[in-house]
Amino acid sequence: MNPLLLSHFTATSCIGLGLNQTTTSLQQNYSGLAKCNFETVDLDTYIGEVAGVDSVLMPKHLKNFDCRNNRLAQLALEQDHFSDAVRIAIDKYGTDRIGVFVGTSTSGILQTELAYRKLDPNTGFLPDDFHYSGTHNTFSVADFTRQYFDLTGPAVAVSSACSSSAKVFCSAQRMMKVGLIDAAIVGGVDSLCLTTLYGFHSLELTASNACRPYDADRDGISISEAGAFALLEHAPDNLNSNDILFLGGGESSDAYHMSSPHPEGLGASLAMQAALDSAGLKAEDIDYINLHGTATQSNDAAEGLAVERIFGRKVPCSSTKGATGHALGAAGALEAAICAITLQNNFMPASLNTQQLDPNIHIDYLLKSRENKVSHVMSNSFGFGGTNCSLIFGKAS
């Protein structure tokens, strides 16, 4: 594919609001995970909560969108002058030539969970202030983003569980290639809710302490929330050396099981190879892989095998979920931003909380951060239903 420029990007998660805080946290090995005290949740687990989401004030004309997920979206859009960059792009291209592609897994479902506690005792109806299309519906966060900027181009929510906001890059790239749009806002927003906390707990996939990716004794995920966005434009001829490019994307399906990855990571391998092919790169061209690395037994074992199959032990890899937790449908976009930070700072982040690397996984896994020239990085995102997406980013120089 022709490279696309990430002309602007931003990330908000439990390790920071915006890129400066996120970069500092990564460099200082800061984990944003803490014991769960979200809402009325009574589970013994750690989560990654974004500070200040509750106090976000949404514009009056968008009050029907008011819920935790869209507040988090707005909080993220307002970091790093991202919304200013969108407005400049609107002046350049027009409101109808900028697409919106937002990945989310659960959208504003928390609003519905809370509303179910307040059903009318006589009619059984949801409370009057419940607004389905603005909060519950999967599209709501993409619709909010579109209306926040008064955009009139194509807009869609991509909702393939934990690959959602990686796959937005691929969908946007295709639409830019055929000329339906000139630029795209791609991103991911997922927020804490009871469905995912109790749901992953029911599958015995939540860690009792902060998650330990690729550790021999890893015991599950730490659920978190995040919002991350990038503005994609066609790469101009005169790039700056630190400009970040989206170079290739690969997508596949496991065709294996709803909630377990293929044990040998076959679908993951297909996605990684497809991303390399899409970027016109070879395995040895990749300097760092930001792994999906959820810290479940099955994910890390399968992904480790897949990475070993394609890259051997030669490529430094880490999962940053020990720092950020697993932001589910927002993980792809968050980790795309982390990849961009990695490229701009020539810094490969360590895996936090990992004490002893699983001896059965044979890859160059980073228990300590490493500083080295980084030119090309890969980011992996895999999800329930056997959905896989790998993205490759590079530096312009």
Partner 1 sequence: MMTSNVSPILSAYINGISLIGPGLINWPDSVSVLTNKTAYQPQITTIPTPQILPATERRRSGELVKLTLAVGLEAAEAAGQDPASLACVYSSSSGDGKNCHEICKTLASEDRQLSPTRFHNSVHNAAAGYWSIATGAKTPISVLCAYDASFGAGLLEAITQVVADNIATLLITVDTGYPEPLNHVRPIPAAFGIGMVLSPVKTQYSNVQVEISLCNGSASKLSNDKLETLRKTIPSARGLPLLAAIAQGQTETITLDYLDHQRIAVAITPCK
- Residues 154-193 binding partner 1 (CB under 8 A) are 154-161, 164, 167, 170-171, 173-175, 177-180, 182
Please say whether the dihedral angle defined by the alpha carbons of residues 106, 111, 113 and 119, taken in this order, is positive or negative: negative
Q: Which of residues 246-265 bind partner 1 (CB under 8 A)?
A: 251-259
Q: 14, 36, 67, 162: which one is catalytic?
A: 162
Query: CB-wise, 68 or 167, nearer to partner 1?
Result: 167
Nearest approach in angstroms of CB 378 to partner 1 is 17
The backbone torsions φ and ψ at residue 385, rounded to the nearest 5 degrees and listed phi first, read 85, 0
Selected from 9, 65, 200, 393, the binder of partner 1 by CB under 8 A is 200
Q: Which of 326, 339, 376, 389 is catalytic?
A: 326
Q: Shortest distance, CB of residue 84 to partner 1, whole angstroms?
A: 19
Least distance (Å) from partner 1 to the CB of residue 12?
A: 23
- Cβ proximity of 108 and 140 under 8 Å: yes
By CB under 8 A, the residues from 88 to 147 that bind partner 1 are 92-94, 96-97, 105, 109, 112-113, 116-117, 119, 124-126, 130, 132-133, 136-140, 142-143, 146
Q: Tell me the closest approach of the beta carbon of residue 122 to partner 1, in angstroms.
A: 12
Does the annotation count 162 as an active-site position?
yes
Which CB atom, from 266 or from 276, has the smaller least distance to partner 1?
A: 266
Binding mask 40-79 for partner 1 (x = CB under 8 A): --x-------------------------------------
Instruction: Kindly determine how many residues on this chain lie close enough to bind partner 1 according to the rule CB under 8 A.
Output: 76
Considering only residues 21, 27, 95, 195, which one is a binding residue for partner 1 as defined by CB under 8 A? Answer: 195
Nearest distance, CB of residue 329 and partner 1, angstroms: 9
Rule CB under 8 A: choose which of 383, 390, 391, 392 binds partner 1: 383
Nearer Cβ to partner 1 (342/388): 388
Tokens standing for residue 184: 């795209």
**Shortest distance, position 4 Cβ to partner 1, whole Å:** 11
Least distance to partner 1, CB of residue 359, Å: 29
Q: Considering only residues 299-358, where is the footprint of partner 1 by CB under 8 A?
A: none
Apex CA 234: angle with CA 229 and CA 236, to 5°? 120
Is position 279 an interface residue for partner 1 (rule: CB under 8 A)?
Answer: no
Does residue 292 have an active-site annotation? yes
**Annotated catalytic, 326?**
yes
Of positions 198, 283, 298, 344, contacts partner 1 by CB under 8 A: 198
Q: Which residues are identified as catalytic?
A: 162, 292, 326
